[in-house]
Amino acid sequence: YVRPGQAIDSPLSDTGFKQAEAAGHYLKEVKINSVYVSDMLRAQQTAETILKHSHSCSALPINLDYLLKERSFGITEGRQMKELKELANTAGQSFLDFTPPGGETKEQVMERFKTFWEKLLQQIGDKHWDADSGSNLPLAQIQTPVEGKADDGLQDVPVHVLVVTHGAYMCEAVRYFLEELNCSIPLLSNKSHMLSLSPNTGLCRFIVTLEKENGRFRLAQIHCVFIHRVDHLKLSQE
């Protein structure tokens, strides 16, 4: 397996397209209001494949954002994953904790995500805020499901945003949610699983509650409904 990172803007493989197709079928009944996608080709192709199966939003515009790019792995980009792991082992670190020469640190990736997150809150708030009814359900009314269904957690939630990004980048996004935003952990999960590398087209869902103060939107609460879900891949094999 080759670590593409940022330097190699490779398309999806045949397997990648099949996985994106499976995700699209799984999410076809979910009404999506906005779409934000890494500007890398494989992420764009994933988003386009998911949306083409949608029953309600197949023509929705895609917002490409460089802030959602995969983490840069410096001199190891384009090399076999085993080379990156060997370098990390030599340094006494896991490959996710290790920063190859010329690569981004985890802290740099998190700062990039924070910039995207703040922009996302303002854009979604400006577009969808309802001054009479508020933004979203109180967290106390949202129950974490045990069984995996495509609409888990979406009942009565007014705005649904699809974000398509990359595995190593997502690790730092989830770390930010857990460690700085006090995001709740879903039933039958734990912090270690939350911070693990998501499989290709792994699905994560977060319920976000916004507040408006002095003309700007800020996070009130965030709850993880599920993390790294691959039910769609299992269904596609049946």
- 205: annotated binding-site residue? no
Give the 3-state secondary structure of the chain.
CECCCCCCCCCCCHHHHHHHHHHHHHCCCCCCCEEEEECCHHHHHHHHHHHHCCCCCCCCCCEEEHHHCCCCCHHHCCCEHHHHHHHHHHCCCCCCCCCCCCCCCHHHHHHHHHHHHHHHHHHHHHHHCECCCECCCCHHHCCCCCCCCCCCCCCCCCCCEEEECCHHHHHHHHHHHHHCCCCECCCCCCHHHHCCCCCCCCEEEEEEEEEEECCEEEEEEEEEEEEEECHHHHHHCC
Point out the annotated binding site for substrate: 42
Point out the annotated binding site: 42
